[in-house]
Structure 1
Amino acid sequence: MCGIIGVIDKRRQCMDGSKIREALASMDERGSGEGAGYAAYGIYPEFADSYAIHVFFDNVRENKPELVKDLEEWGRIVHCEAIPIYKAGIKKVHTPWRFFFKPDITRAQEPLTTADDIVMRLVMNVNSAHKGSLIFSSGKNMGVFKAAGWPEQVADLYRIQDYKGYLWLAHNRYPTNTPGWWGGAHPFNLLDWSVVHNGEITSYGTNRRYIESYGYDCSMYTDTEVVAYLVDLLVRKHGLSEKLAVRALAPPFWDEIDAMPEKERELNRALRLTYGPALMNGPFAICVATADTLVGFTDRIKLRPLVTGEHNDRLYISSEEAAIRRIEPAIEDVRMPKAGEPVIGRVIA
């Protein structure tokens, strides 16, 4: 049921959040009013070199000092503040906060050898062990804004129209296996990776055990959280291209692989044998974003809809063509990708 939409401007020309709000709200029938959210890239140019750590606090006075202590142990807080929120008909359950953070790489040690590794471990530690604090966004020059509510309510809560980004993701949730709550709303994020998802990952147990064997902690018990961590592992840690990562997560069936030309057959066999536990089963359509890329793909038999469109320098990916046309009415190049076929847009400037 969920509604998803993403747009990337390949020349990094920024757009405010008003159109993405309108597009997501046009898919209200795909949600239940229990969760919606937005991710935007390029919104913090004044802190572009810092990790923007977005946090939900249950109680700022009680929960913030412990998080500050952890951040200062591993680096420097450049700036912090409450994320501005406004009246939008949503009950305030948590207080959204943001820290702009620079890790101290001199403190890195095995297995944490990079600034990304330090931030990843901080996210895992806080979300699994700090009661009352949840890091829900941790990339550079980007941020996730989400809550339990309808798309237009969540947009109005954060005044999404006041943010300007060159890449946007948005999601309208219809919870099935987990309750609707602020942390369970999409997008899910780790570092620069953000994920929105329509459907269900029925291989969640296998995928979760696999990703946790690499040091990731799945503290929110949702399949979309696992997708974000799998993408981080395959692309950032293992060095796969986005196209190969999608091929590992949603691979062809064995009989299709057997019919491929030799080189392609051997590559796909190697991916399936190496990343078998990462293979995702179930009906799904997924959009993944990072600082310079937007990727969309579905399960291997396309049990959830996905539509793409291009106009000038912008690529759109959504559950519905009508939502894309809310942003760009003049769009003409619209298509529906095949099952498991990734659609990839990259910045060129």
Structure 2
Amino acid sequence: MKAPEKYYDFEKDISGCGVFGVISKRRECIPGDVPIRAMACMHDRGNGLGGGFAAYGIYPELADKYCFQLLCDDHHALDKAEEIIKIFFDINESEPIRTRKVLSIPDPPLIWRFFVYPKELRPNSRFSGGSEEDYIVGVVMKINKEVPGAFVLSSGKNMGAFKGVGYPEDIAEFYRLDEYSAYLWTGHNRFPTNTPGWWGGAHPFTILDWSIVHNGEISSYGINRRYLCTHGYECTMDTDTEVVAYLIDLLVRKHGLSRELASSVFAPPFWDDIEKMDVKQKKLYRALRTTYASAMLNGPFAILVADADSLWGLNDRIKLRPLVVARKDDRVYMSSEESAIRLVCRDLDEVWMPKAGEPVIIQADGCSNG
């Protein structure tokens, strides 16, 4: 599945977009109607060209298997993708993702999922000699690059991404997300700026357990993409948010940076501010800015990053996009608008707006800080 051929032949819109996330620190189930109602509250932040959700803890019976969820133009594309999957994995289950007919989504692609585990004897490939996670990433990149008409929607364990062209509430109805419960949800309402609305360009963007939703514009997309290519990542969605997902995987999983340090790569202190720091801090932030200059995110943005153990919010270093955080008991909410949070939880214990470039990282119980 690829972007339209006349990729830049469309009228540019003013940026909107809405993001929402909620996590139960005790990993208690949160029904799907919570993120659905929150996103519907921010309906006017989008224009119907993209909506989506990510949910964690939704496949407990198969939690030890990787879930490859695919969007395909037709059965031919699905068959080609399955051929690759069978080379690299043992398939535990293969089934269509359950959906229902929605009038506003007249011609959806073919949507399928495979629960898989890497073969004990890995076939020869350029990524077979690495870690299990590198192996998964390699197969995702291979499908996305080599199979016309197909791409991997998500590839983590006990999680899934559900996205498409439409308003978020329509996408939720299509995927029957009201029937799911999860301990962590993210949602997105799209108002495209530099790219057209298509199924692959909707949010969230994912790799492994990582999922990213984004409001804003990554004007450093070109240099970010070239930097990722030197580390083996294939950017095939032609959308700026895709690079954020891969940069997070590279910096946190592969290079071992904490989420705080990765945040300082994406939205670093200004050089003038670095020069005012003490010697130890100055050395650290100079090194980060020098080493990861090509991973810095330029432009206005507010992003929510989720994985199996955390929800992480960050906006740009001059806060050109809104981000609100709130807490009620063990649940923490992040959103573009406080109204969306208040709709699903009126009596909050605490509400605040993070400072520009200040990450908010919420870990689920049983996880170390990072």
Structure 1 length normalisation: TM-score? 0.97
- Residue 63 of structure 2 is aligned with which of 45, 48, 67? 48
1:344 aligns with 2:358: no
- Residue 73 of structure 1 is aligned with which of 77, 80, 87? 87
Native 8 Å contact 1:105 1:114 kept in 2? no
1:31 aligns with 2:31: no
Deviations 1:162-190 (A, max 9, x none): 11110000000001111111111100000
| Higher mean C-alpha displacement, 291-300 vs 260-269 | 260-269
The DSSP-based 3-state class of the residue aligned with 1:308 is: strand
Looking at structure 1, the residues matched to 31 and 315 of structure 2 have their Cα atoms a distance apart, in angstroms, of 28
Q: Quote how far apart the aligned CAs of 1:111 are.
A: 4.6
- Correspondence list, 1:195-214, <5 A: 195-214=212-231
Q: Quote how far apart the aligned CAs of 1:253 are.
A: 0.5
- Correspondence list, 1:27-176, <5 A: 27-60=42-75, 62-89=76-103, 90-107=105-122, 111-112=127-128, 113-176=130-193
- Residue 215 of structure 1 is aligned with which of 203, 220, 232? 232
Q: Quote how far apart the aligned CAs of 1:65 are.
A: 2.2
Looking at structure 2, the residues matched to 99 and 261 of structure 1 have their Cα atoms a distance apart, in angstroms, of 52
Matched letter for residue 33 of structure 2: S
The DSSP-based 3-state class of the residue aligned with 1:301 is: coil
Native 8 Å contact 1:43 1:163 kept in 2? yes
Residue in 2 that maps onto 1:315: 332
Looking at structure 1, the residues matched to 82 and 90 of structure 2 have their Cα atoms a distance apart, in angstroms, of 10
Looking at structure 2, the residues matched to 98 and 136 of structure 1 have their Cα atoms a distance apart, in angstroms, of 9
Native 8 Å contact 1:42 1:141 kept in 2? yes
Question: What is the total number of aligned residue pairs between the two structures?
Answer: 348
The DSSP-based 3-state class of the residue aligned with 2:142 is: helix
Looking at structure 2, the residues matched to 169 and 255 of structure 1 have their Cα atoms a distance apart, in angstroms, of 35
Matched letter for residue 3 of structure 1: G
Report the identity percentage: 52
Q: Quote how far apart the aligned CAs of 1:129 are.
A: 1.4
Deviations 1:238-291 (A, max 9, x none): 011111111111101001111112211111111111100000100000000010
- Residue 247 of structure 1 is aligned with which of 261, 264, 274? 264
Residue in 2 that maps onto 1:181: 198
Native 8 Å contact 2:127 2:135 kept in 1? no
Deviations 1:46-74 (A, max 9, x none): 110111111011112x1222222211211
Deviations 1:123-174 (A, max 9, x none): 1111111011111111100000111011111110011111111000000000
Native 8 Å contact 1:104 1:115 kept in 2? no
Looking at structure 2, the residues matched to 105 and 331 of structure 1 have their Cα atoms a distance apart, in angstroms, of 49
Structure 2 length normalisation: TM-score? 0.92
Looking at structure 2, the residues matched to 312 and 105 of structure 1 have their Cα atoms a distance apart, in angstroms, of 44
